[in-house]
């Protein structure tokens, strides 16, 4: 009978260890998955294919939402709607690009449409904001969790400072942006993430403060600084 308390104590200790280690394990697995997705995208990316129809459709989409003053950007459901169904163009993994933020030591796959599934797998472009192909009068708004099941994701976004570099490699080229401004906004202030005439912007957005349940939004505005690895000459 004396062994029973010892067994229970051992089981409780093991359970406690599992609770402590579980976020570490899940975080490691998520990071491994995102790393694999990034590696696969970069290795299988075939610039010679160019996906010219997809590029033309994304350009038309960007022009249309700008002309319509992003009237569809009204609620969370609108943010989930992708600019295009990438699988219809032969992009089976649904990844439109890879986001690199050196100051955060972060590299993530980027998906179109901020659905729960996409945000769990990486970063996602909000629906009814510009597709990540650059151009005048565009603002590609990329959302990411402020930490997700042990993985960092945008957890350390507050490490970014004005002047830091942010890059996105899409199916055609790598676009380089520089952090121009950082703001904390309210969830309903959608006007603050809309396109600004004549500017080529990439905006990062996540919940704030950390582990607050999303009371506010931490927003990092980045402005285009250079083109690298230009592939398509159609623009």
pLDDT at 48: 62
Residue 223 lies in a domain: yes
Q: How many domains does the chain have?
A: 1
pLDDT at 3: 58
Q: Which residues contact 161 (CB under 8 A, 6 or more apart)?
A: 103, 179, 182
Q: What is the CATH number of the domain that holds 115?
A: 2.40.260.10
On whether the CB atoms of residues 104 and 157 are closer than 8 A, the answer is yes
Residue 146 lies in a domain: yes
Residue 158 lies in a domain: yes
pLDDT at 227: 45
Residue 186 lies in a domain: yes
Residues forming beta bridges with residue 219, ordered by sequence position: 183, 205
pLDDT at 123: 96
Residue 235 lies in a domain: no
Tokens of 121: 């797998």
Residue 233 lies in a domain: no
pLDDT at 65: 97
Domain that holds residue 156: 3-228
- Whose CA is closest to 210, among 159, 155, 160, 161? 155
Residue 110 lies in a domain: yes
pLDDT at 213: 73
* pLDDT tens sequence for the chain (235 residues): 455 665 555 555 555 444 444 454 455 566 777 888 888 888 877 766 678 999 999 999 999 999 999 999 987 678 999 999 999 998 988 999 999 999 999 999 999 999 999 999 999 999 999 999 999 999 999 999 997 666 889 999 999 999 999 999 999 999 999 999 999 999 889 999 999 999 999 999 999 988 777 789 999 999 998 544 433 333 3
On whether the CB atoms of residues 154 and 210 are closer than 8 A, the answer is no
Residue 208 lies in a domain: yes
pLDDT at 231: 34
């Amino acid at each position: 009978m004396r062994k029973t308390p010892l067994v229970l104590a051992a089981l409780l200790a093991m359970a406690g260890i599992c609770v402590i280690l579980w976020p570490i394990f899940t975080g490691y697995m998520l990071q491994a998955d995102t790393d694999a997705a990034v590696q696969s995208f970069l290795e299988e990316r075939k610039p010679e294919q160019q996906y010219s129809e997809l590029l033309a459709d994304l350009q038309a989409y960007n022009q249309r939402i700008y002309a319509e003053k992003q009237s569809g950007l009204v609620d969370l459901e609108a943010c989930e709607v992708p600019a295009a169904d990438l699988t219809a163009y032969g992009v089976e993994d649904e990844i439109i690009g890879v986001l690199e933020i050196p100051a955060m030591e972060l590299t993530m796959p980027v998906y179109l449409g901020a659905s729960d599934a996409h945000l769990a797998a990486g970063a996602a472009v909000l629906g009814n904001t510009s597709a990540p192909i650059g151009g005048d009068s565009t603002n590609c708004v990329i959302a990411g969790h402020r930490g997700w099941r042990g993985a960092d994701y945008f957890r350390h976004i507050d490490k970014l400072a004005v002047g830091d570099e942010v890059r996105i490699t899409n199916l055609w080229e790598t676009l380089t942006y520089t952090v121009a401004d950082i703001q904390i906004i309210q969830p309903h202030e959608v006007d603050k993430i809309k396109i600004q005439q004549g500017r080529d912007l990439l905006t990062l957005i996540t919940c704030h403060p950390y582990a607050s349940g999303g009371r506010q939004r931490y927003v990092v505005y980045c402005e285009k600084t250079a083109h690298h690895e230009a592939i398509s000459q159609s623009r």
